[in-house]
Chain A
């Protein structure tokens, strides 16, 4: 079977952000993570491209993503003091969008740094 090889892949498990990992992957899962440490191996090998979860949940029930996005926007817009929190496991591009959203909402934006 042909494996997709990614050289110089980046591990985002810890703050070292090692960028010399060699990943061997099939369509669904990563089968090898060369040079990764024990934490990095677990990070790469435990995430797959399977659909293990529903695309979205509303009140615990599976729902279309479009409905979930519309409801999320409605709930955040209705709030007087919405809190936007987290951001340590998302990309900088997503973080940039997040700050713009928080500003538009007139809310609070905060990360794991404050814990």
Chain B
């Protein structure tokens, strides 16, 4: 998501006086987020810490994070995009249809109060979780929230940041963006990168049966993906690199055990605000690192004839 209006967690700690969590439950999923970055710390421009900050939680149900918030807005499931769009209208003083407001599960009073508080803020942040980005509307929801944050800058400083889940998923986005120009779902079959989520994203490729081999790294789709995708992984030759023998390893042709990232494998990991942090492993693994195994597979592939890059003319006739 290059181009998003964002900041680092250090800026949140030192400046943010208005914080929205949308579709996430940091109290249980990112336990130290409140104390280390977003709510409790005393910062340069928020010297009294939590007392200087207003915290809003937007979710479809009451989670443990509600206790940490000043305001809780309970949205009807699947209506996040509508709420965000109404907010975008309200900040510009445009008229909104009361029937559409009623459908969101919130009242116009709640929404106008939120808009007034957002505009009064000196530095506003919207953190959004998978409750927004993985439900009905998916990336359109994220886009609406990022647009709202960008548009709020006509009134005051406002930024948005995704609450990323597993360890270095941010690093995967950053590295792919750096190397290909795109963050995920990239197809190299024409010799140059093409990006199209929905067409080149994993679940879609597997469910349609397009992929005829799979290399799975530090992931266990055999435990998390829809059954038709898992069935296809079992049909094609699958190769798994993982510190454990996983569900996916059991249906794979090849499993290679690797050292655990950050515990016995050194390297770099990205925090959710795209700050790279060195890993400091405490143990010595009997297994090779992922980096080493992937490099060796790459070298073994490079020793074979290069059929795709063989004649350099594949790009000229493609649109």
Contacts between the two chains (Cβ within 8 Å), count: 345
Residue-wise, chain A 2-25 has the 8 Å CB interface mask toward B (1 for contact) of 001010111111111111000101
Considering only residues 247-282 of chain B, those with a C-beta below 8 Å from chain A are 249-250, 252-257, 260-272, 276-282
Whether B256 and A101, one on each chain, are in contact in the complex, defined by CB atoms closer than 8 angstroms, is no
- Tell me whether B268 and A93 are in contact (CB under 8 A): yes
- Indicate if the CB atoms of A79 and B237 lie closer than 8 Å: yes
Contact, CB under 8 Å: A92 / B174: yes
Q: Which of B60-68, B96-104, B106-114, B161-169 contacts A (4 or more CB under 8 A)?
A: B161-169
**Bound Cα distance A74, B239 (Å):** 11
Question: Is residue B115 contacting chain A, with contact meaning CB distance below 8 A?
Answer: no
A101–B294 CB distance below 8 A:
yes
Contacts of A58 in B (CB 8 A): 253-254
A75 near B36: Cβ-Cβ < 8 Å: no
Of A29, A82, A111, the residue contacting B176 (CB under 8 A) is A111
Q: Say which residue of A12, A13, A60 sits within 8 Å of B279 (CB atoms).
A: A12
Q: Are B217 and A107 in contact (CB under 8 A)?
A: no
A66-105 vs B, CB cutoff 8 Å, 1 = contact: the mask equals 0011111111111111111111111111111111111111
Task: Report whether B294 and A29 are in contact in the complex, using a CB–CB cutoff of 8 Å.
Answer: no
Q: From DSSP, what is the main secondary structure of chain A's interface residues? A: mixed
Q: A72-B254, A92-B171 are contacts. A106–B215 as well, Cβ < 8 Å?
A: no
Is A1 in contact with chain B by the CB < 8 A criterion?
no
- Inside 8 A of A90's CB, which chain B residues have their CB? 168, 217-218, 241, 261, 290-291
Selected contact of A88 from candidates B172, B250, B266, B285, CB within 8 Å: B172
Q: Is B82 an interface residue (CB 8 A)?
A: no
Cα–Cα distance between A17 and B277 once the two chains are bound (Å): 8
Give Cα A40–Cα B203 distance, bound, in whole angstroms.
29
How far does the alpha carbon of A27 sit from the alpha carbon of B167 in the complex, in Å?
Answer: 24
**Minimum CB distance partner of A111 in chain B:** B172
Q: Quick check: A99 and B297 within 8 Å, CB to CB?
A: no
Asked whether, in the complex, the Cβ of B221 is within 8 Å of the Cβ of A85, the reply is: yes
Q: With the chains together, A88 CA to B285 CA distance in Å?
A: 20
Cβ-defined contact, A79 with B212, below 8 A: yes
Q: Is B41 an interface residue (CB 8 A)?
A: no
Of A13, A52, A110, which one neighbours B200 at CB under 8 angstroms?
Answer: A110
- The 13 sampled A-B contact pairs (Cβ below 8 Å) are A10-B280, A12-B279, A40-B32, A43-B263, A56-B257, A57-B252, A72-B256, A72-B297, A88-B172, A91-B267, A92-B268, A105-B188, A114-B202
Sorted nearest first, the 10 A-B pairs with minimum C-beta distance are: A91-B267, A86-B219, A12-B167, A15-B164, A89-B218, A79-B213, A73-B300, A106-B308, A15-B272, A37-B31
Given pairs A55-B256, A83-B202, A115-B134, 20 additional interface contacts (CB within 8 A)? A10-B269, A12-B269, A47-B263, A53-B257, A55-B287, A75-B254, A79-B213, A80-B212, A82-B215, A87-B168, A87-B169, A89-B168, A91-B268, A98-B294, A99-B176, A101-B297, A110-B184, A111-B184, A112-B172, A112-B219
